[in-house]
Structures are given as C-alpha cells and as structure tokens.
Amino acid sequence: MAAAVIALPLAGAAFLLFFGKRMSKASAYIASGAIALSFLSGLILFFRMLGEPGEERSFVMKVYDWVNVGGIHGNGELLLDPLSIVMVLVVTGVGTLIHVYSIGYMEGDPRYSRFFAYLNLFCAAMLILVLADNLLLLFVGWEGVGLCSYLLIGFWFEREVAAGAAKKAFIVNRIGDFSFLLGIFLIADEIGSLSVTEINAGAATMGTTLATVGALLLFGGATGKSAQIPLYVWLPDAMEGPTPVSALIHAATMVTAGVYVVVRFSPLFVAGGTTALTVVAWIGALTALWAALMAAFEYDIKRVLAYSTISQLGYMFIASGVAGYSIGIFHLVTHAFFKALLFLGAGAVMHALAGETDMRKMGGLRRAMPVVGLTFAAGWLAISGIFPFAGFWSKDAILAVAWEQGEYALWALGLLTAALTAFYMSRMYFRVFEGDLEVPEGIHVHDAPRTMAVALVSLGALSVVGGFFNLPGVLTLEHFLAPVLGEPEVPHGVIAWALAGAALVVAFAGIFVARALYLQPEGDARRERLEKTAPWFVGAARSKFYVDEFYGRAIVAPGKAFAGFCADIFDKRVLDGLVNGVAWVVNGVSSKGRHVQTGYVRNYAVIFLLGVVVIASFMFLRVGV
Amino acid sequence: MPVAYFLVLSALLFSIGVYGVLARQHAVLVLLSVELMLNAANINLVAFSAMLGEAGVPGQVFALFVIAVAAAEVGVGLAIVILIYRNRRSVDIDEMSLMKW
Amino acid sequence: MGLNTPEIELLGIAPEIALVVGALFILIVDAIIGEGGNKWHLWILSTIALGVSIFLAVQAWGSNELQMGDMIAVDGFAAFVKITLAVFALLTVWLSRSYLHRDGIEESEFYGLLLFAVAGMMLMASAADLIMVFLALETFSLALYVLVGFRRTSLTGQESAMKYFLLGAFSSTFLLLGIAFVYGAIGSTQMYGSSAAGAGAQGIATALVSLPAGEFTLLVIATGLLVVGLGFKVAAVPFHMWTPDAYQGAPSPVTGFMAAATKLAGFAALIRLLDAILFPLRGDWRPLVIGIAVLTMVVGSVLAVVQEDLKRLLAYSSIAHAGFVFTGIIASNDRGVSGSLFYLATYGITVLGAFAVIAVLGGRDERRTTVDDFRGLFYESPLLAGALTLFLLSLAGVPATVGFVGKLVVFGAAVEAGYSWLVVVGVLASAVAAFFYLKVLVVMYMQERQEGAEPATSGYGGLATGVIGLAALATVALGLYWSPLIDFAERATFFFSAGG
C-alpha cells in the first residue's frame, strides 16, 4: 500500500512521458487521477494507522532489496509512521487540488501533457523523500524533487529569465545538497547504517561534537531546499515557473523538505546538545524577519508570496529549533493550505489579467472576480494569523513554545515578523482586491474557470478550518505525532491566553497600518512622507538588500573566473589535450597492433607457442630447476 | 630403463610435432604433427604408468582414452579439410587469410 | 592388483545423460522423418532435452559428493554452472531456429552437436579428474569445430572452422602434456583424494598436503601448462588469436554461444583447479595469471578500438571480458569465485543478446555485420537498436545494467584480496572499451541510413525476437535487482570437500 502511494504518480509520470503527446487533454485527467488515487491510498493507510495503538504506528516495510554489497545496506525500505503519513497526506492532498487547478490554468500550453508528467514525477519524488527509511533512498527523493523543480521553473524555457531562474535554483540547491551529502557520509560512517530509524536510535551514541556537525551538515542541505539564509536567493526567482508549480513546489511541499528532514532527524539534532538546535532556531527567526522586510517593499504579486513563503518556513525552523517539532509540522500543514491558496489565487488573477504580476496595476478585483477575491481573503486572514483562521493556531503555537522555552528573543522576533506579515499581506490584498477597479488596458476580467475554482474553494475551506486539526482537546495533530516526535511543552493558563492575545494584537496592528497606507485615500501622501524618513532603507529593501549583487561579486564572479580558467586553459589545453592524446595513442596502438592478427594460422600458433615458452620458463624459474 | 629416457623421447617427439605445426603449409601435415604431439604426451603417460608399477593402471587407461580422442579429432579435422578442398581446390593453410586484423 | 568396480550413481551426470540421449534422439527422429517439412520438431526436442537437463541439474543442488569412481564432483559449483550453461543453450537453440530456418540450413546435426557440446561443457564443470577435464574439453571442442563451420558454403565459415580446429587441437596437446606431468608428479590425475581407501588414493589436493614442499617442481610446471590449455578456451592473451577469426566466421548464434558458454565452461574448470585444488600453490600461479589477466584486459580492449566488423569487435570485447573474470580468480576468495560466476552468467546473457541482434540484422548469409551497416538503425527499427544499446552499455559496464554489477563484484573481490592496482588496470581497460561501444551507439543513433540500403530486418522468426527480449529484460532487471543471482552465485561457491 505504501509502495502504491509512490508507484501511482510514478507510473503516471512514466506513462505521460512516453505516450503523453498523443493525448493532449486526457493526460491532465490521467495525472490527476494518479495523484488522487495516491491520496486515497494515503487516507486508507492513515485510517488503518488510527486503528492501531499509539506505540505501534510505525512500520518499516522492505519493498525492494537494492544495494546490498560489501556491508553497505541500501535497501528500499519505507518508513510509515504518523510523521510520514501526515506529510503524505499534505503532498498528495494539496497535490491533487493543484493538479485539478492546472487543468484549467495550463490550458492551451503546447507542452500540456509534459507539464502534468513533471507534476506527477515531482509528487512521486516528494513521496519517496518523505517515506524513505533509508538515507540513500531519501537522497534519491531529495534530488528528484530538485530535478523536477528545475524542470518546472524552467518550464517556459523559451523565456530567458525562466531558464536563468531554473539554473539559479538548481545551482544554489546543489550547494545545499553538497552539505547534505557530506552529512549523510558522516552519519553513515559513524553509525554504520543508513536507515533512518537506526540513525535516530543510534544518534545518542555518536558523541556531542560529531552529532552537532552531522546535524548542521544536514541542516545545510535544508537551508538550500527550504530557502533559508544564506541560500534563500533562488526562491523569489523561481516564481518564473507556472503558478501551479509555485503553489505546489515552491510553497506547499518541496520547500518543506528541509523542515521535514530537521524534524525527522530530531534525535540527531538533540544528541548534539543545544548548539545545532539553537542555530536552526536563529537561522529560522532571522530568515523570517529578513524575508518579511523584503516582502513589504515588493510590488510583484508572486514575489511577495515567495518572500512570505521564505518567512513562514523560517517560523517552522523556529518551532523545530525550540523542540516544538510537532508544532513545526502543524505550521507546515496549515501553511501548505493557505500558501497554496494564495498562490493559486494570484495565479487566477494573472490568468485574468493576461499574465500581469505588478500589483500597482491592479485594484478592486474583488467585485470582478468574487470567487477568487473571497478565497484570497481567507488566505490573507489565515497567513496574517487572525482568529480563527488556520494560520492563527499554528503561528500562535510556535510563538508560545518559544516563550515556554525561555527564548524570549526568538519570540520577539517572531512577533515582529507576525506584524510585518499581517502588514504586507494586507497591503497586497488591499492593492489588488479592494479600492477602485483598475486593470491594464484592453483586458476583460473574468472569474476563475471551474476547475480552478474547485481547487480555490477547497483550499479556502481548509485555510479556514485547518487550524482545528490541532485544536487543544479535540483533534490534536500534536498527540498523533507524539509517538514519533514527543509532546512539545506549551504554556498553559493565563500566559497562553496572553500570548495568543499579543499575536492577535500585532496582526491587527499590521492590518491597520496597511489600511492606513494603502486603502485610505490619504495613503499615498502618508507613504511618501514615511519613505522620506529613511530613503536608503527603502531603496535597499527594494533591491533585496543587494544580496544577489553581493553573491554575484563575492562568489559567482570569482567562481566564474576560476571556471573560465579551468574551461579555457586547464580543460581545453591540458585535459582535452590529455584525453585526445590518450585517444590518439590508443588508436595508434590499436591500428598498429591489429596487424599482429595476420590471418595466417601458423602465425597464431607461433604466438601461442611464444606464450607457452614464456610461461614455462617463468614456471621453471619459480621452482628453480 | 630409467623413466628419463622415455621422457626425452617424448620431448623430442613433441618438439618435432610443434615444428611440424609451425612449418608445414599443408593442412593434413599440420594435423599429423598435432597427432605426433598427442602421442608424445601419451608416451609420457605410459612411461609414468610403468614407473608406478601396479598402481599405474590408470595411466595406461588414459593413454587409450587419448588415442580414441585423437581418432575423433582426426575425423573432424579431415572432414573440415575436405570441405575446404571442395571449395578451394587447395588445402594450403597460408591461403586462408580472408579474416585478419 | 585389486580392481574395484566403481559404484555407478547417475544423479551426478544425469543432466549430461539427458542431453546426450536427447541429441541422439533428435538425430534418429530426423532420420526417420527425413527431408523437407518445417523441421519444427528439432528445436522443440532440443528445448525439451535442455529443460529436462535443467530439472536434473537442479535436483543435484545441495549435494556434495564424488561420483563415478571419483571422476565427477557433484557440488553447488557444478550445479550453478550446469544450470547456467543449459540456459545459454536454450537461448541459443531458439535463436538458431530462426537463424537456420531463414538461411535454409536447418539440419538436425546442428541441434545434436549443440547438445553434445553442452553435455561436454557440463562435464567440464563437475570434472574431478584431469582426464575428465580433457575428455570434456575435447567433447565440446569437437562439436564446436563443426558448429563454427556450419555455414558450409561460406568461405569465411570454413576458414574459421579450420583455424579454430588447428589451434584447438594444438592447444589441447599442451593441456594433455600438463596432465601427463601431473600424473608423473603425484602418480594420479585425480583432483581430490579418493574417497575409497587403498591404492591410488592420492589426489592433487591430498598430495599438496602430504608431500614435502620441494616435491612440487613438476606440479608447478604442469600448472602452467594447464593454464595454457584452458586459457586457450577462454580466449586469454596470448592464446586468443583464434578468437576474432572464429567469432567472425561462425554463424552468429554459435558465436554467441561460444562467447557465453565456452567461456563459462573453461573458466569453471580453471576456477575449480586454481581457486579450490591448487589454492595452496597460489604463490606460484598467481603471478602467471596476473600477467595473463593484464595482457588479456589491455589487448582485448585496445585492439577492439579499430575494428570495423561488429562480430569481430565483440570478439575482442569478449577477450577483454575474460580478463575481467580473471581478476576474480586472482582474488581467489569466496567473493572472487562467486563474483566470477556472476560475471560469467550475466556476461553470457548479454553477449548472447548482442549476437542475437546481429543474427537478426545480419540478414541472409550474414552479409551485413560491419559497424557501418548499423548506421541509422535507430530510425528504422528502434526496438532492435534499443536492445543492442542495452547490451552494449551492459558490456561497457554502465550503471543500471548488469554489466556494471558484474564489474563491481569482481573488482570488489580483487580489492578485498589486495590487488587494487589490478583493478586500476581493469578500470582503465574498461574506459578504453567504453570508447568503442559508444562508437557503435553513435553510428546507430547519429548517422543517417545509407541511401538504398537493404531493410534492416528481413525474415526472422518470433523466437529470435523472444531471445532478444529475454536477454534485454535480464540485462536491465538484473542490473537493478541483482541480489537473487548474487545470492545464488554465493551459495554456489562451495566445492566438494571431503569433510562435507
């Protein structure tokens, strides 16, 4: 069954890659069917698991005896436990909705079936990643999602920006992967096993320093995939891909792979004492704030959402860093709902406005496209952390855990970010959907087509009620995850209420500021005055704080120079020369050597005899006759 | 007689056979030379067998086996020679070099 | 002089008996039915005989004894080799049916000889006496001489038969001389000591234990000669000269069979002799075999680079592959033995598949076997091109094909035994080898088909397609999921031992 979860989308992808061309429209339904069935299998597994008592909900199943040579055991073993099943449900559930959405969104694209093949392939790789009980297999999934991400960002590769963005994403991720791979090697060497369960069981024996190094190396990989400082730069550019891709890969699922890995290997992080976890939490908090700042000054609707994704991923790392693993996963789930929704809503807007992404050219769209406007509002309130929307519960829980752990600085950073989040999201919502109707010239605005609307409404509903999955005392995700991740320590009593209240207050504050600056008629004047107080800051934020430029000068340019040297001088002259030279020599020897084979049988006999004589003499010498 | 005599005889016979294989162009003569070599090995077997006395029966039996194998070999060999003769009207092995290099 | 009638137990050689009986039956049936007709009974009967033979070989799995007056070892090693040989033969029979039928030379003798050859090869695998080795070797060699020249009207066919025969006869005299020396050295030709007490209880294995160290002179020289005689059959350099000519001139199914089965049979005897019986003398034979292995890998790979004929190219590649198997033998540990067996079994399947493609594409009388004839093949028959691609990639040792796994295990065994430098040589040789396999691929995919060229496939049976399909499937499936066969090979590394 667990294998079927992976196999279904994989089969769909293989089928479409081979035969997709002949069945343009049907391919969308095949792909959606495959992922929907996979979701169904996941649900069945989930309910079957609920039937078991808490301690017996982890299974390791051997599907496939893969590499078993010389003490290296790389078996195809799948780990099915509460954590992986939650991930499976998110990936397949959100994945299904986005497949359905894409049926309408991608209509008319010349590579229609190819798109769905990639989507299916991505889902399969992501499922391998979350279900693998073996680091090798996990890495296969890890690289698989990276590859699909590359293919999908650059899906419209005719556009130079898209191709460049794909390349950037791939290369930046490769840096993280390098760290990840080093981590795998270190762990495999120390623990002597590649199995996730065995690594977690043996983490305590590793020694503090080694465990810290191993954990941080894995986290290095996570910063790449999950777009954290310092490797976040690829994600905003990745918005060049089709919007469903941004929703599925660059918001809901793939970018959470890093969070998943940190949570999955939490015993390893714990084994290293506090150092590794502290690093995780602080990187998360700083990233959250940093990205929120940039989001507040961005005008491209998709890029705002990209920065907000980075920021929200930061929250998940804060949660993991303060040992609130299940809270981190909770936020991962709710975020998957509302961020997918926001992206799809943004996609619907772009769809209606012929690809326009600059929010300065939009306004008042709520009346023109009510379904999109309403669902987008749900997403906006959810991410801003307004009660009782999904984001409120998970974000509040993260801040509460940070407080309980005594990490007041982290809590303060989180709170500040929450205010900023509410601000920039409201800014976006007010600009695009409220105020006077404003669209680029010559465009007739239409609401989302049916398939897109289905996905939007479903996700909208989930964004409203998603928080109840972890409603204290009712349906607790925390409790479900506890056998794997342990119960997080949460504050109780007055403090809990006070913290929730604080979060709510800053959220409303953010919204009101945004309203004052963007919705009210005097907003333009106020903004101008505000910007004058610190023009350098505004300029810097608009230029993404010059990080890309800095990377360009400090890393890429010297790298390029070195690569240029390698390619032009070293490779062409030395290596190519060497290779060509070897080929030339081999060819020469071969052309000459073949003439030994004269075709005369007596010559063959002579060579045979020579061999015998040499061997006999050698043997005589050995025995010393 | 010491075994060594027979071994020398065998060695001589074997060498003559080797020479024949290397020097002769006529396929049948090459075949004959191979037979010489086989028989040289046979002499070895029989000589060692005699040296071992009663325990040496197997050696003689094996010599008989080898003679039988040699006969079969000649049978196949001559068949191939005849096949080639029919096509080429010649069995000079130096003319057979269609395939080389 | 006490003459013991040996106890006759037939289980040990039952697979061989089944084949010989089957072969005779085929000859008789064909004589009765006579000329004409579709001759489908030939391949059906051969298939049945081979099936029975496989069944009987499986029955012997797990036994560990000497039979037929200590001439036959019935052990896991022999069983593995016999089963593999019969599988090779099955593929060859099916392929040959298509081939012979198309070329109009389908005769019962072909199948009879093929079965005789397999019987001889099987005996080779379980031979526990050097005379048995010699007889088995002659049995299959004589059959192969005729099979190589089976295209009787073809000048190249005759020529290759003649060359193979002359050199084969020449080489077997050296083997015989070696056996005679062994006999002189220890007064017996048995490999293991006799299980029956009394006279002639001496065997090579027991002699190596009981005799003082100085007495091995003759045995060591004999070892050299044995390696020569058997090295000829597996196409080890410098005894390889017959290989390209014989492979080129022989009918493609026979070539495939020789590359797969002859190599396996020859190596089976070599492995039993060197890695089991003469193991205590490894200090003496190892340098010799290392020299041969290096030469074989390098010469095979380098000389293949400039070949224009695909069959000839694969002949040189088969020489190189013999060298790779030698690295497993040199390791002479359990992994080396099981690795060599695995390598031989998988190489056999792959190379049979490759020659099956050549047999199909070569057309009547094998007119089109040069690399140039395969130009643009992909655009004409993509499936055949795809299959050939697979086989060539596997021969080159590309991951995800079985050839990669095979190289991994034999090289791994050699590293384990401390011969890393030999592995370096092997890897370099494979790198050179990859070059000419890729050359063929480039021709197939990147070049246009010549104007007015004959269609690639003309009249071949579904059986040949089946063989290609099976081989391709095995190449990929075992390349991804190799543990069953490795397990099988590992459990086949137990040789007969008196202790049980």
Alpha carbon distance C299, C320 (integer Å): 7
Which residues of C, range 169-208, sit inside 8 Å of A by Cβ? 170-171, 174
The subunits that touch chain B, with at least 3 C-beta pairs less than 8 Å apart, are A, C
Count of alpha carbons within 13 Å of A42, Cβ hemisphere only? 31
Candidates B64, B96, B97, B100, partner chain C, best to mutate (most C CBs within 10 A): B96
Residue C305: pLDDT over 60: yes
pLDDT at A404: 87
In B, minimum Cα distance to A594 occurs at: B101
Stretch A445-456: mean pLDDT, rounded? 83
Residue A30: pLDDT over 50: yes
> Is residue B65 a part of any domain in this protein?
yes
pLDDT at C134: 96
C284-C285-C286 Cα angle (round to 5):
100
Which of A223, A248, A386 shows the shortest CA–CA distance to A320?
A223
Residue A163: pLDDT over 80: yes
Residue A522: pLDDT over 90: no
Residue C99 φ then ψ, to 5°? -65, -50
Quote the longest CA-to-CA distance of chain B: 53
Which of A334, A338, A597 shows the shortest CA–CA distance to A466?
A334
Confidence of residue C499 (pLDDT cuts 50, 70, 90): very low
**Which has the minimum average pLDDT: B32-41, C12-21, C140-149, C203-212?**
C203-212
Which of C211, C214, C230 shows the shortest CA–CA distance to C275?
C230
Q: Are A81 and A485 in contact (CB under 8 A)?
A: no
Stretch B29-36: mean pLDDT, rounded? 94
Number of other residues whose CB lies within 10 A of the CB of residue A476: 16
> Is residue B47 a part of any domain in this protein?
yes
Stretch A269-297: mean pLDDT, rounded? 88
* B18–chain A Cβ distance below 8 A for any pair: yes
- What is the DSSP pairing of strand A59-67 with strand A74-80? antiparallel
Residue C181: its chain B contacts at CB < 8 A?
44
In C, minimum Cα distance to A620 occurs at: C221
> Is residue B101 a part of any domain in this protein?
no
pLDDT at A589: 86
Q: Nearest by CB to A586, from C223, C224, C432: name it.
A: C432
Stretch A287-293: mean pLDDT, rounded? 90
Alpha carbon of B1: minimum distance to chain C alpha carbons (Å): 16
Angular region, C37: left φ>0, alpha ψ -120 to 50, beta rest? left
Confidence of residue A473 (pLDDT cuts 50, 70, 90): low
Residue A597: its chain B contacts at CB < 8 A?
100-101
Strand partners, A62: A77
Which tops the pLDDT comparison, B22 or A534?
B22
Residue A472: pLDDT over 70: no
- CA C381 to chain CA centroid, Å, is 30
Q: What's B23's domain CATH number?
A: 1.10.287.3510
Tokens of C89: 């033969």
Q: Are B52 and B9 in contact (CB under 8 A)?
A: no
Whose tokens are 């991804």? That residue is C480
Q: Nearest by CB to A609, from B22, B25, B96: name it.
A: B22
pLDDT at A451: 82
**Distances from the Cα of B70 to the Cα of A461, B47, C182, angstroms:** 91, 19, 20
Alpha carbon of C266: minimum distance to chain B alpha carbons (Å): 19
Number of other residues whose CB lies within 10 A of the CB of residue B8: 11
Candidates C147, C148, C159, C171, partner chain B, best to mutate (most B CBs within 10 A): C159
Percentage of residues of chain A with pLDDT beyond 90: 19
Cβ separation of A622 and C220 shorter than 8 Å? yes
Which tops the pLDDT comparison, A572 or C416?
C416
- How many helices (H) and strands (E) are present in chain B, helices listed first? 3, 0
User: What percent of chain C is helix, strand and coil (3-state, nearest 5)?
Assistant: 75, 0, 25
Does residue A230 have a cis peptide bond before it, meaning omega lies within 30 degrees of 0? yes
Percentage of residues of chain B with pLDDT beyond 90: 70
Q: Are A288 and A398 in contact (CB under 8 A)?
A: no
- Could you list the residue range(s) of the whole structural domain that residue B34 is in? 3-95
pLDDT at A443: 73
Domain ranges of chain C: 11-491
In C, minimum Cα distance to A70 occurs at: C412
Tokens of A287: 């990233």
By the 10 Å C-beta count (0-12 exposed, 13-18 middle, 19+ buried), A508 is classed as: middle
* A608–chain C Cβ distance below 8 A for any pair: yes
Residue C424: pLDDT over 80: yes
Quote the longest CA-to-CA distance of chain C: 78
pLDDT at B38: 95
pLDDT at A134: 83
Percentage of residues of chain A with pLDDT beyond 70: 96
In A, minimum Cα distance to C213 occurs at: A623
* Contacts with C149 (C-beta within 8 Å, 6 or more apart), sequence order: B80, B83, C157, C158, C160, C161, C162, C249, C250
- pLDDT tens, position by position, C485-496: 888 888 888 777
> Is residue B78 a part of any domain in this protein?
yes
**Which has the minimum average pLDDT: A36-50, A154-168, C120-134?**
A154-168
Number of other residues whose CB lies within 10 A of the CB of residue A16: 26
Alpha carbon distance C69, C433 (integer Å): 46
**Distances from the Cα of C470 to the Cα of C295, C356, C362, C391, angstroms:** 33, 11, 20, 12
Alpha carbon of C218: minimum distance to chain A alpha carbons (Å): 9
**Distances from the Cα of A378 to the Cα of A20, A339, A448, C39, angstroms:** 36, 11, 16, 79
3-class DSSP string for A496-538: HHHHHHHHHHHHHHHHHHHHHHHHCCCHHHHHHHHHHHCHHHH
Confidence of residue C198 (pLDDT cuts 50, 70, 90): very low
> Is residue B100 a part of any domain in this protein?
no
* C245–chain A Cβ distance below 8 A for any pair: yes
Which of A136, A89, A117 shows the shortest CA–CA distance to A31?
A117
Stretch A437-453: mean pLDDT, rounded? 78
Residue B94: its chain A contacts at CB < 8 A?
600, 602
Q: Which of A250-264, A483-497, A541-555, C110-124 has maximum average pLDDT? A: C110-124
pLDDT at C469: 92
pLDDT at C212: 75
Q: Which of A39-53, C251-265, C437-451 has maximum average pLDDT? A: C251-265
- pLDDT tens, position by position, A71-103: 555 567 788 888 888 999 999 999 999 999 888
Cβ separation of C169 and B27 shorter than 8 Å? no
Confidence of residue C248 (pLDDT cuts 50, 70, 90): very high
Alpha carbon distance A448, A199 (integer Å): 48
pLDDT at C487: 86
Q: How much is the ipTM here? A: 0.97
Which residues of A, range 68-107, sit inside 8 Å of C by Cβ? 68-70
Count of alpha carbons within 13 Å of C428, Cβ hemisphere only? 16
Number of domains in chain B: 1
* A616–chain C Cβ distance below 8 A for any pair: yes
Q: Which helix (H) or strand (E) holds C166?
A: helix C155-186
Q: Nearest by CB to A598, from B18, B25, B97: name it.
A: B97
Residue A69: its chain C contacts at CB < 8 A?
408-409, 412, 486
Which tops the pLDDT comparison, A181 or A108?
A181
Alpha carbon of A214: minimum distance to chain C alpha carbons (Å): 29
* Contacts with C431 (C-beta within 8 Å, 6 or more apart), sequence order: none
* C158–chain B Cβ distance below 8 A for any pair: yes
Report helix angle C334-362 to C310-331, nearest 10.
170
